């Protein structure tokens, strides 16, 4: 062996990515390693100095940890030869891959070898190789583009089927062991989520809830993921042990996942080469309702969302928000009235006043003491609850089933009408086809009429499905029209006004001049509908008795 023979210190570079559509068997890390080692053993002038592996990294960009480490070795003169199985292992980006092969590696004095492509930069380039290398890089780029389109399309289909595609499940849910893209309730922390919503309804702020959870040593979402053995990392964590924060509590309170609604597709990337995430318009989000088991009742969730929209804060040195905070409205200008303090040491005095009048922006001078308003609201609310309980008792006495039967009868009638309408559109579609075949309609007319009847039939079919779902709900007793009474019944023995009670049962309290107030109750439409039904049934009962007599 000659003394002046040059030896190349080589880095073996291996890459594998399912995202690029790599074949697991032929492109596996072990297969690439064995092929490169076998090649080096046959070369007298190459010494293997480094082995760099990017497992699970796409070839579209070159921001890969092992590749960057290899480039650092090249800059430090530890490596002057790079060996890959084929060009696609180096990269699948036509422009960037060509830049490394044609410019960067030659400039840095690096010998580049692609075994399966029979490419060695040390060997003289022929006109054939000058053509083949760019074409292969272009093919690798196009292949990656096609795979990206297929993956995006497959993800879209899965999202529309209600399959969860996130890397980690949200706090409160786990992956179903039988179906990994379906969510099941995490029974360990579901009570914590319910407690968070309950505390918010009771008047606690997000910060107070976070402090409460930390005080009773409830593990934060990040700590719970680690407890489950998940390799979860976040840039928000400042301490060794992640604590509850107001932001974490708010994320839970705002997440519709807890009522069984799965929303996906909020973010995307411009294309397969640019990985920067961009926001997708809300109209294009994929939202699947009743996709999985809910942890929070929808009415409770909606009440919390309304609370979050209201600008309220806890008073100094207080843990809870006042019962009527954010719900008192000026009867003249419809502004939110504010609670003011005009107390002395011996005489506490708090009152609600219109902010526009106080700031000299118009409106009339009317205010009301907080204790007077809370007392009036409590009395009216208690009477309203008693009225609802009386209605429920009347319904039971008349025969509760008559209400359900009445609703079922109405829905069945609607269902039959819609089914006849659907059949009519189907017959029209068939007639249009017959007219086209017989020459009465040309191609353009056939397509116009066919599309028209198809769209109408589709709309009617959706209506039929909705009515059938409503009928099933009535049969199993799960309609909102039948559930709303229970929200009032839970407060039938009230003796004081609480924040939770107010936000669950009252929309707003309107204050007019001379301390006149009006209360907008929730479920008012349902209340009036049932009241009307009771009156109708009572009239029928009275008429029936008269006929018998």
Q: What is the dihedral of CA 98, 104, 108, 109, to 10 degrees?
A: 20
Q: Is the domain of 178 the same as that of 126? A: no
Q: Which residues of 101-112 are buried (b: 16+ CB within 10 A; e: fewer)?
A: bbeebeeeebbb
Residue 290: inside a domain: yes
Q: Per-residue pLDDT tens for 28-51?
A: 888 899 999 999 999 989 999 999
In percent, the amount of the chain with pLDDT more than 90 equals 27
> Confidence class of residue 2 from pLDDT cuts 50, 70 and 90?
very low
Q: How far is CA 422 from CA 447, 455, 456, 469, in A?
A: 19, 11, 8, 17
Task: Evaluate whether 337 touches 354 at the Cβ level (below 8 Å).
Answer: yes
Q: Quick one: pLDDT at residue 317?
A: 63
Q: Is the domain of 405 the same as that of 537? A: yes
Q: Quick one: pLDDT at residue 25?
A: 47
Q: Per-residue pLDDT tens for 447-460?
A: 888 888 888 888 88
One-character DSSP codes across 258-297: GGT-EEE-SEE-SSSS----EEPPGGG-EEETT-S--SS-
Q: Quick one: pLDDT at residue 4?
A: 63
Task: Evaluate whether 266 touches 287 at the Cβ level (below 8 Å).
Answer: no
Residue 365: inside a domain: no
Element (H, E) at 429: helix 400-437
Q: Is the domain of 178 the same as that of 153? A: no
Which residue has better confidence, 253 or 26?
253
Q: Picking from 341-355, 389-403, 426-440, which range would have the lowest pLDDT averaged per residue? A: 389-403
Does pLDDT of 238 surpass 60? no
Mean of the per-residue pLDDT values of the chain: 82
Q: Is the domain of 408 the same as that of 288? A: no
Q: Is the domain of 390 the same as that of 537? A: yes
Find the radius of gyration of the CA atoms of the chain: 35
**What one-character DSSP code corresponds to residue 218?**
P
Quick one: residue 175, left, alpha or beta (phi over 0 = left, psi -120 to 50 = alpha)?
beta
Rounded distance, CA 485 to CA 64, Å?
59
Q: Quick one: pLDDT at residue 396?
A: 63
| Size of the chain in residues | 549
- Specify which residues 51 forms β-bridges with: 12
Using DSSP's 3-state secondary structure scheme, residue 12 falls into: strand
Rounded distance, CA 231 to CA 218, Å?
20
Q: Is the domain of 43 the same as that of 133? A: yes
Residue 411: inside a domain: yes
Segment 357-381 mean pLDDT:
84
Q: Is the domain of 446 the same as that of 532? A: yes
Helix axes 206-215 and 246-254, enclosed angle (nearest 10): 110
Rounded distance, CA 3 to CA 338, Å?
92
Q: Is the domain of 21 the same as that of 146? A: yes
Rounded distance, CA 256 to CA 258, Å?
5
Q: Is the domain of 39 the same as that of 142? A: yes
Does pLDDT of 403 surpass 70? no
Segment 280-291 mean pLDDT:
90
> Confidence class of residue 444 from pLDDT cuts 50, 70 and 90?
confident
Which residue has better confidence, 311 or 438?
438
**What one-character DSSP code corresponds to residue 19?**
G
> Confidence class of residue 76 from pLDDT cuts 50, 70 and 90?
very high
- 10 Å CB burial of residue 339 (0-12, 13-18, 19+) is middle
In percent, the amount of the chain with pLDDT more than 70 equals 84
Rounded distance, CA 345 to CA 338, Å?
22
Rounded distance, CA 426 to CA 27, Å?
53
Q: What is the CATH number of the domain that holds 292?
A: 3.90.1750
Segment 353-377 mean pLDDT:
83
List CB contacts of 423: < 8 A, sequence separation 6 or more: none
Residue 336: inside a domain: no
Residue 321: inside a domain: no
Q: What is the CATH number of the domain that holds 81?
A: 3.40.50.1390
Number of domains in the chain: 3
Helix, strand, coil percentages (3-state) for the chain, rounded to 5, are 50, 15, 35
Q: Is the domain of 227 the same as that of 92? A: no
Using DSSP's 3-state secondary structure scheme, residue 248 falls into: helix
Q: Quick one: pLDDT at residue 277?
A: 84
Q: Per-residue pLDDT tens for 148-187?
A: 777 788 888 888 888 998 888 899 999 998 888 899 999 9
Rounded distance, CA 231 to CA 121, Å?
42
Q: Is the domain of 15 the same as that of 96? A: yes
Residue 314: inside a domain: no
List CB contacts of 538: < 8 A, sequence separation 6 or more: 394, 398
Task: Evaluate whether 277 touches 307 at the Cβ level (below 8 Å).
Answer: no
Domain with 199, as residue range(s), is 173-234+241-309
Element (H, E) at 130: helix 127-160
Segment 253-276 mean pLDDT:
86
Rounded distance, CA 328 to CA 310, Å?
11
Segment 366-389 mean pLDDT:
88
Segment 336-354 mean pLDDT:
84
Using DSSP's 3-state secondary structure scheme, residue 368 falls into: strand
Q: Picking from 209-218, 270-279, 390-399, 452-461, which range would have the lowest pLDDT averaged per residue? A: 390-399
Segment 307-332 mean pLDDT:
78
Task: Among 91, 124, 157, identify where a domain stops.
Answer: 157
Residue 387: inside a domain: yes
Rounded distance, CA 94 to CA 101, Å?
11
Segment 217-246 mean pLDDT:
76
Task: Evaluate whether 209 touches 196 at the Cβ level (below 8 Å).
Answer: yes
Residue 487: inside a domain: yes
> Confidence class of residue 439 from pLDDT cuts 50, 70 and 90?
confident
Task: Among 127, 157, 187, identify where a domain stops.
Answer: 157
Q: Is the domain of 203 the same as that of 140? A: no
**What one-character DSSP code corresponds to residue 196?**
H
> Confidence class of residue 397 from pLDDT cuts 50, 70 and 90?
low
Which residue has better confidence, 482 or 219?
219
Task: Among 95, 127, 157, identify where a domain stops.
Answer: 157
Closest CA to 104 of 135, 82, 137: 82
- Specify which residues 130 forms β-bridges with: none
Closest CA to 163 of 184, 185, 183: 183
């Amino acid at each position: 062996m000659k003394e002046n023979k040059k030896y190349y210190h080589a880095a073996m570079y291996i890459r594998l990515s399912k995202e690029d559509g790599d074949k697991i068997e032929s492109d596996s890390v072990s297969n690439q390693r064995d092929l490169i080692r076998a090649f080096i053993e046959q070369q007298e002038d190459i010494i293997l100095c480094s082995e760099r592996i990017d497992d699970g990294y796409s070839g579209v960009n070159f921001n890969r940890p092992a590749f960057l480490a290899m480039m650092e070795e090249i800059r430090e003169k530890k490596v002057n030869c790079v060996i890959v199985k084929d060009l696609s292992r180096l990269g699948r980006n036509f422009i960037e891959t060509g830049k490394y092969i044609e410019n960067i590696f030659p400039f840095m004095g690096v010998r580049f070898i692609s075994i399966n492509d029979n490419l060695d930069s040390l060997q003289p380039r022929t006109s054939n190789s000058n053509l083949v290398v760019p074409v292969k890089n272009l093919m690798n780029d196009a292949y990656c583009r096609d795979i990206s389109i297929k993956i995006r399309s497959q993800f879209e289909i899965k999202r529309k089927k209600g399959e969860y595609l996130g890397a980690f499940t949200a706090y409160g849910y786990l992956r179903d062991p039988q179906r990994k893209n379906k969510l099941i309730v995490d029974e360990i922390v579901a009570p914590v989520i319910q407690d968070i919503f309950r505390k918010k309804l009771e008047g606690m702020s997000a910060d107070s809830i976070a402090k409460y959870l930390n005080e009773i040593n409830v593990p934060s979402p990040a700590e719970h993921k680690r407890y489950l053995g998940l390799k979860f990392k976040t840039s928000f964590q400042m301490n060794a042990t992640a604590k509850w924060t107001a932001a974490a509590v708010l994320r839970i309170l705002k997440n519709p996942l807890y009522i069984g609604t799965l929303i996906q597709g909020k973010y995307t990337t411009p294309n397969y080469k640019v990985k920067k995430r961009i926001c997708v318009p809300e109209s294009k989000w994929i939202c699947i309702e009743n996709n999985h088991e809910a942890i929070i009742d929808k009415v409770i969730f909606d009440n919390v969302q309304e609370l979050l929209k209201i600008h309220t804060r806890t008073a100094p040195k207080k843990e809870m928000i006042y019962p009527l905070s954010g719900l008192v409205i000026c009867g003249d200008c419809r502004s939110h009235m504010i609670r003011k303090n005009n107390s002395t040491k011996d005489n506490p005095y708090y009152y609600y006043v219109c902010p526009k009048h106080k700031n000299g922006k118009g409106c009339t001078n009317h205010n009301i003491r907080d204790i007077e308003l809370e007392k009036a609201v409590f009395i009216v609310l208690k009477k309203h609850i008693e009225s609802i309980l009386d209605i429920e008792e009347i319904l039971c006495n008349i025969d509760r089933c008559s209400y359900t039967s009445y609703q079922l009868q109405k829905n069945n009638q609607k269902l039959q009408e819609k089914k006849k309408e659907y059949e009519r559109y189907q017959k029209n579609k068939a007639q249009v086809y017959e007219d086209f075949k017989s020459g009465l309609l040309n191609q353009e007319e056939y397509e116009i009429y066919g599309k028209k009847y198809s769209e109408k039939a589709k709309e009617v079919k959706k209506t039929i499905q909705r009515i059938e779902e409503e009928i099933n709900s009535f049969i199993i007793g799960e309609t909102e029209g039948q559930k709303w009474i229970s929200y009032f019944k839970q407060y039938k023995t009230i003796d004081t006004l609480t924040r939770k009670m107010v936000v669950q049962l009252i929309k707003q309290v309107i204050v007019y001049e001379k301390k006149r107030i009006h209360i907008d109750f929730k479920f008012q439409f349902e209340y009036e509908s049932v009241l009307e039904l009771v009156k109708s049934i009572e009239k029928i009962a009275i008429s029936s008795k008269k006929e018998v007599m």
